Structure 1
Amino acid sequence: MTRHHLPSGTTSGLDFLIPDNWSADQALAVVELIDDLRERICMHYQFALHELLHEQRAPPVIPHLSDGDDPF
């Protein structure tokens, strides 16, 4: 079974199975529902999500070195 890379980075856990017999209309309805849900969540938690993503994606903080300190 091929594992797809998810935006969350999740690589293990329970597989979420999507029926392979959905019509294009059914698939579009689910995509639109997910888009609407994402938009509502982002509107409500906009600033908190921005801060959390910034913290998670920021480079690690290196302690300040005094002049003459050799990190190696």
Structure 2
Amino acid sequence: MSRRTPLPSGLSCGLDFLIDTNWSPEQALAVYELLNDLRTRIWLRYGEDVIELIRRERWPAPNLSDINDLSEPF
């Protein structure tokens, strides 16, 4: 695979996270369930804080300083 799959974090560089290609389906499911449980626990504890942080980082407040300087109406 020459192209990286886009990540939800938006990161496009860094260390690759390698996954063993020899896992059995049972091993893959066990890891998936572990990560899903971890995600759930983190969300239960930090969900509101994570939402606020994502909001601040990914949707910054708009710059309204020049809103009255519009020369033409809509």
**Shorter-chain-normalised TM-score: which range?**
0.7 to 0.9
For structure 2, list consecutive stretches of 5 or more residues without a partner in the other structure: none
Tell me, in whole angstroms, the C-alpha distance in 2 between the residues paired with 1:31 and 1:21.
15
Tell me, in whole angstroms, the C-alpha distance in 2 between the residues paired with 1:66 and 1:55.
21
Tell me, in whole angstroms, the C-alpha distance in 2 between the residues paired with 1:9 and 1:66.
30
Residue in 2 that maps onto 1:22: 23
Residue in 2 that maps onto 1:38: 39
Q: CA deviation at 1:66?
A: 6.2
Residues 66 and 30 from structure 1, CA distance in 2 versus in 1: closer, same or farther, beyond 3 angstroms?
closer
- 1:24-65 CA-to-partner distances (Å, cap 9, x unmatched) read 000000010110110111111121111112222325411333
Amino acid at match of 1:4: T
Amino acid at match of 1:36: D
Q: Kindly, what percent of the aligned residue pairs are identical?
A: 46
Residue in 1 that maps onto 2:10: 9
Aligned residues: CA RMSD: 2.0
Residue in 1 that maps onto 2:63: 62
- TM-score, normalising length from structure 2? 0.77
